[in-house]
Structure 1
């Protein structure tokens, strides 16, 4: 047995360049960050508002892809900073003269905030609360002047919240499209692609290449996310959520079916479907009720394309949704009594312990420049060991790059500037770089924030030229120490690994797929929920690969990572083929393929059981379609492909679960 070799340097470079490449919306996020950051720098430097680096952090976080997310983030940030500053001032009011009591009470509040960061839906509020509590807690160690400490806290509140307000105004001015418009435009774009493929058949021109399962998954999930934002933003969409979801399913079904269109001799049905899609396009553009165009009722014959019939049936079914304005009432969720979660308590204890160790180092060394050491413990702390490791890695990478840029600026640029214009010319390119990375993939977005923050801490905290290289050194040392201590604590104390959760999720997907393929082909489209669950599994798998112990040098871990990715790839192909079969099969074909669908359902159920009961695969031998099955049509080949993917899926699981593994390195 051999394992998949690690990716080459060229492949890693290609993947990095792909994550840094442009895509729709990325430039907009970067420009909004850049414009607001320029305004914040000018205002803070002119009015001498301290904590400029924290102001820029708020700018980045509040700048989101749409108005809904920007407003929500702004409200949560305002709530978190107000709560944190209020608690910090109350703590100092009663414990300022008693250092031991002050430290104890601060960490009690910190512990509670970190716990609620995991337990509450508004986790970002308590994340900010914990960060500010642990940050302002050190103000009392710097000076004996209580008035100065309170003044610093109030300035901290001003620095964060004025930048939040400015960012929100900028986003409202420079995002002309609300989520409803974005949702409508994406639907129109997908339906337009469907129309283009229909036009190719009508004009007898070559069809474009069909999209892959991965691309289809991305398009379906993007529509789902945009619908969620549209429902949050628009009351009409909220009241007609069922109708909007039906329209989304119609667009996705038509788009999938169009990928399997083949040239047809009789263009009557083709023209009818094209006219119906044009009517659907017009109804979406006007956000009005869809009505099927009048025309002769089509009578299918033996040579009728099942794909076109599926598209026509889908359009007819959607035309029956007349309750556009009917509000949807949902029962109130059942309230559960509050209970302490042991996992969250352990998480809060680990985070508080690592932060306290860093605080002891900070106080014992009397090293003011490494005050970021405690902040790192909160920022790195995530809900799983893989996510924690990923955040730690991104923080270190961003901090190192930001510090190196700051060092070069101090040595080469700072001696030659003496105006705010020069400061902006020096700073904004770095802010733009950080914003570009931040607006990209979630796998690396935090590195952009950290790059900008480290750079700003080194050069923008003073209201004049900075020539101190010691500050840059201290910042990076504080970050590295904090990240190292926090990561070590999470690795040694109750590590929260996600491997078991990953395979439970895969088992649930396979079980749902097994049940769905039993249904009539016309009703067996893979639901949005299954595609969403698959996307969640892929995200968990990426985090599991970063957990300590999963290093490329570990043969066993390397094999587990490879087999997990292989299993997820086969699951994606199975879901894609199930959708393809659903749009290509008619009732006659469904009756013919019923025994094969039953067997495929049994094999998927077997694969789901194998996750928790490995012994069920002990006697399984590789099988595809029955020996007497001779593929003759395109649908036959898809059935054959389905069984092949299921066989490969089971084979991958069997290899992974084998007790004795021999690695051919």
Structure 2
């Protein structure tokens, strides 16, 4: 909602306001940038001092390795090192078999490109980048007319450079972690809830909104929730806990957006509104306290005063969002029970759950392979090996091309121009000729890395610009253990970068691209249908746990994609812009409720896995199945409406819930074990939440 308030301004003013908000400091931003700069600088100094080539690889890894938690850093670093060695062994071993057969060699390269992009789509990016970077650099090695010993030696130097980057980053992060105690998921949520609490407290107590409170809420709203979502994805928490906290993160982000809008709209609550605000603030503080103390937040229902007949719409949105945050934990018994379930360790895997089921992975790999193959054939047909950075650019930009868009292409070109021409070649003309020691180059390197890192810590709408600046500058100045002052070499590398970006733009945006608004709509529709399919799963289906995990991961990935596309829609212009922005606004309002519905549905589906209640009570099982079938039908009906299709579904959803409620109440009135009655009451409460959320969504859609 914050972004929408500035969309109507003229483009230059909107752009300046956007950059001002994106580049503003926020809590721990300077600390994160300092850690990135220190680690990258140490890698550069070590490689230069000990004459280690391909230092740009180690420096790039410094920017890619996970920094969310010490555990994530260790796991990421260890996996990357292992896959680096495996990748080098794969390339050297397989290349030896095909290097003397040109046609087979060419087909092997194309197949390797496909494998690299498939890995990007099906493996976590931090890990997949290992294989990708090795392919990006080693494939051009094999085309050089040099002895095989030289190619092998350069490959080993590359592995050594990457190892230095991994070791330095891991050591730096573990050293800093000692001074950064606390949960990296709960603490950021608590900070954001506290910021909202402080702002709403001003309105509740009839005080002018505090400037510091406004700034904190605005900064958090602009930053978004991508960092917390990424930390959740890479954490070692159980799938159940990650799904629950993912719902909380989405709702807290929504709460921040609404709160950040209040000062801009000159929100002036009435006396009855202020009474409600005090209740809301008490609920926010209670949720925050419960989360900090590892307790399940209590269910919240706001009962307005009799005089409070027509509440302000914004206040109503705040109340609904706070209520949904508590509902996310419905049916849970303890947070600690789900945080690190030993049984969930068996579910940790290298590939995502839908790696071989989701056709999107195959489509992405084919498009990426096509782009890299075009670049490879262009620079070989022109006998211009200096622009082999085009292949490197294709593979590295693939790290952020999943859900590619015009916005990311703009960031890539802008980053290449700034990092390659302005900072890279500009420093070669005006700075490097006057430096005679590594000390001077270190100052330049720190400046460029700090500049790039500050942009990398922006929201996803701008962060890739920073990475592209760093990649372009490093490719020019960190290939050899010397300051590169040859403009022809720099020119070739920058031309290669631009060629790679042009081909990626052509393949991903022009040939098979789709407007971000349409992609956002279809992804949201896909989630509605997936949750409907999840509801249709038999209560006693075989291998149900694995199916739930597959659905959970696919739907969660789609939620992230919708958020990403929502950010991108702002940057797309044309005759349908206003309509697309309205669609964006509606989907952003619907998605937190749909996420809460998913969490509640998963909690309901877990009951038969944990308790054999339904096996003994056939009437409850039948009523529950009817409820699930009607839920699936109404979700499919909503999906059809969002997709612009007619819906012929007859709605018997409310009647099926009434039938389930009567059946459960009848069972609970009979004599029997109290534990069975308790579980039946839990099932009824979860089903009631599902019914309420579904009818609310259905009414709006």
User: TM-score scaled by structure 2?
Assistant: 0.63
Tell me the residue number matched to 1:154. 156
Structure-2 residue corresponding to 1:145? 147
Q: Does 1:183 align with 2:199?
A: no
* Corresponding residue number in structure 2 for 1:12: 15
Secondary structure of the corresponding residue to residue 173 of structure 1: helix
- Do 2:406 and 2:509's aligned partners in 1 also have CA atoms closer than 8 Å? no
Is residue 89 of structure 1 aligned with residue 92 of structure 2? Answer: yes
Q: What is the number of equivalent residue pairs in this alignment?
A: 559
How has the CA–CA distance of structure 1 residues 486 and 205 changed in structure 2, closer, same or farther, with 3 Å as cutoff? closer
Unmatched runs of 5 consecutive residues or more in structure 2: 1-6, 532-553, 595-633, 648-696
Query: Is contact 2:193-2:288 (8 Å) kept?
Result: no
Range with bigger deviation, 387-396 or 156-165: 387-396
CA contact (8 A) 1:191 1:251 kept: no
Cα distance, 1:114 vs structure 2: 2.3
Corresponding position: 1:400 with 2:402:
no
In 2 relative to 1, CA 540–272 (structure 1 residues): closer, same or farther, beyond 3 Å?
A: closer
CA distance in 1, matches of 2:274, 2:641: 48
Q: Secondary structure at the match of 1:109?
A: helix
Specify the alignment match of 1:417 in structure 2.
435
Aligned-residue Cα RMSD (Å) equals 5.6
| Equivalent in 540, 565, 569 of residue 585 of structure 2 | 569
**Match for 2:173 among 167, 171, 174?**
171
CA contact (8 A) 1:67 1:179 kept: no
Distance between the aligned counterparts of 1:265 and 1:562, measured in 2? 32
> Distance between the aligned counterparts of 2:198 and 2:112, measured in 1?
59
Give the whole-Å Cα distance in 1 for the aligned partners of 2:34 and 2:219.
29
Contact 2:224 2:253 in 1 (8 A): no
**CA gap 1:539/1:158 in 2 versus in 1, 3 angstroms:** same
Q: Cα distance 1:315–1:444, how it changes in 2: closer, same or farther (>3 A)?
A: closer
Would the aligned equivalents of 2:379 and 2:387 in 1 still touch at CA under 8 Å? Answer: yes
Tell me the residue number matched to 2:376.
359
Q: Which of 553, 567, 576 does residue 560 from structure 1 map onto?
A: 576
Q: Give the match for residue 78 of structure 1.
A: 81
Query: SS of the counterpart of 1:366?
Result: coil
- Structure-2 change in CA distance of 1:181 and 1:574 (3 Å): closer
Q: Which deviations, in whole Å up to 9, do the C-alpha atoms of 1:498-543 show, x marking residues without a partner?
A: 6554334555899999xxxxxxxxxxxxxxx999988753532554
| Post-superposition offset of 1:30 | 1.2
Query: Do the aligned residues in 2 keep the contact of 1:385 with 1:495 (CA within 8 Å)?
Result: no
Return the match for 2:109 from 106, 110, 128: 106
Q: Does 1:474 align with 2:496?
A: no
Distance 1:435 1:423 in 2: 18
Equivalent residue for 1:132?
Answer: 134
| Structure ID, larger Rg | 1
Residue of structure 1 in register with 2:607 after alignment? none
Deviation, structure 1 residue 45: 0.8
CA distance, structure 2, for counterparts of residue 15 and residue 125 of structure 1: 32
Question: How far apart are 1:456 and its partner, in Å?
Answer: 2.3
Instruction: Name the structure 2 match of 1:21.
Output: 24
Task: Assess if the C-alpha contact under 8 Å between 2:297 and 2:326 holds in 1.
Answer: no
Give the structure 2 partner of residue 593 of structure 1: none
* TM alignment of 1:30-45, pairs within 5 A: 30-45=33-48
Matches within 5 A, 1:99-498: 99-118=102-121, 120-122=122-124, 125-175=127-177, 176-177=179-180, 180=183, 183-184=186-187, 186-187=189-190, 190-191=193-194, 193-194=196-197, 197=200, 205=207, 226=228, 229=231, 233=235, 263=271, 287=294, 323=334, 325-326=336-337, 344-381=361-398, 387=404, 389-402=406-419, 403-490=421-508, 493-495=511-513
Q: 2 CA distance for matches of 1:480 and 1:266?
A: 56
The 1:562/1:79 distance shift into structure 2, 3 A limit, reads: farther
Contact residue 358 and residue 374 of structure 1 kept, 8 A = yes
Within the alignment, does 1:52 sit opposite 2:55 as a pair? Answer: yes
- TM-superposed CA distance for 1:399, in Å, is 1.6
**Change beyond 3 A, Cα 1:5–1:90:** same
Q: Which piece of structure 1 moves more, 604-613 or 449-458?
A: 604-613
Q: CA deviation at 1:190?
A: 1.9
Is the Cα contact below 8 Å between 1:68 and 1:229 reproduced in 2? no
Q: Which segments of 5 or more consecutive residues in structure 1 lack a partner in the other structure?
A: 293-298, 514-528, 553-557, 579-602, 617-645, 651-665
* Alignment deviations for residues 348-394 of structure 1 (CA, whole Å, 9 cap, x no partner): 34433332332233223332321102223333447979715444332
Secondary structure in structure 2 of the residue aligned to 1:142: coil
Q: Which digits, 9 at most, give the CA deviation of each residue in 1:315-372, with x for residues without a partner? A: 9999998745545878998999985766544543443333233223322333232110
In 2, distance between residues paired with 1:431 and 1:196?
A: 35
Q: Structure 1 residues 533, 361: closer, same or farther in 2, change over 3 A? A: closer
Is the partner of 1:461 in helix, strand or coil? Answer: coil
- Equivalent runs, 1:615-630 vs 2, <5 Å: none
Note closer, same or farther for the CA distance 1:497–1:383 as it changes in structure 2 (3 Å cut). farther
Aligned match of 2:547:
none
Give 1:563 deviation, angstroms.
Answer: 0.1
> Shift of the alpha carbon at 1:481?
1.9
SS at match of 1:180: coil
